[in-house]
């Protein structure tokens, strides 16, 4: 069992993980922080916790936060770790709500997810393709009435 970990350490560690793993690669950040940097777990325990987190519904990173926090400090640790992880998530939702203001924006996000996850295309290829579609969709257009009146 690792040394005593404070609730603040759990909170700040998962806050940093959530902030720096935006866009993917969270498992690598989790392993680096929990195993290599803080030495709270060995690789075997980390893989066990990761396996459990992947079988639970919800986001793997949030599930890992709950499991790690619980393992290190019980229910209070789980809450501290989840709060740290979700504080970044809340910021992401706030930014997304302002950025994704039209239903077409959600269609572009869905096309990106489908392209990467279902069609197994590379992220840059999908982003370029969907980006071109979005640019064409949102490009400035002359009002048809202006054109007709000339």
Give the pLDDT of residue 41.
Answer: 96
Tell me the C-alpha to C-alpha distance, in Å, between residue 69 and each of 1, 13, 36. 13, 11, 17
Low-confidence ranges of the chain (pLDDT < 50): 147-148
| Burial category of 89 from C-beta neighbours within 10 Å (exposed 0-12, middle 13-18, buried 19 and up) | middle
| CA-to-CA separations, 127 to 13, 132, 139, in angstroms, rounded | 31, 8, 17
What pTM was estimated for this model as a whole? 0.60
pLDDT digits (tens, 9 = 90+) for 37-60: 999 999 999 999 999 999 888 888
Instruction: State pLDDT tens for residues 19-28.
Output: 777 656 788 8
For 87, the 3-state DSSP assignment is helix
Return the domain boundaries, the chain.
7-97, 103-144
CA 38 vs CA 27, 66, 88: distances in Å: 15, 17, 21
């Amino acid at each position: 069992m690792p040394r005593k970990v404070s609730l603040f350490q759990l909170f700040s560690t998962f806050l940093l993980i959530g902030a720096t793993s935006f866009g993917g690669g969270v498992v690598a950040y989790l392993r680096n922080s929990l195993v290599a940097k803080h030495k709270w777990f060995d690789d075997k325990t980390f893989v066990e916790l990761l396996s459990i987190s992947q079988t639970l519904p919800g986001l793997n990173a949030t599930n890992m936060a709950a499991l790690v926090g619980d393992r290190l400090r019980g229910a209070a640790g789980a809450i501290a770790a989840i709060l740290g992880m979700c504080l970044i998530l809340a910021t992401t939702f706030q930014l997304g709500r302002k950025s994704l203001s039209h239903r077409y924006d959600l269609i572009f996000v869905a096309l990106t997810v489908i392209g990467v996850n279902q069609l197994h295309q590379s992220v840059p290829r999908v982003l370029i393709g969907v980006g071109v579609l979005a640019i064409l969709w949102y490009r400035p257009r002359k009002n048809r009435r202006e054109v007709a009146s000339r």
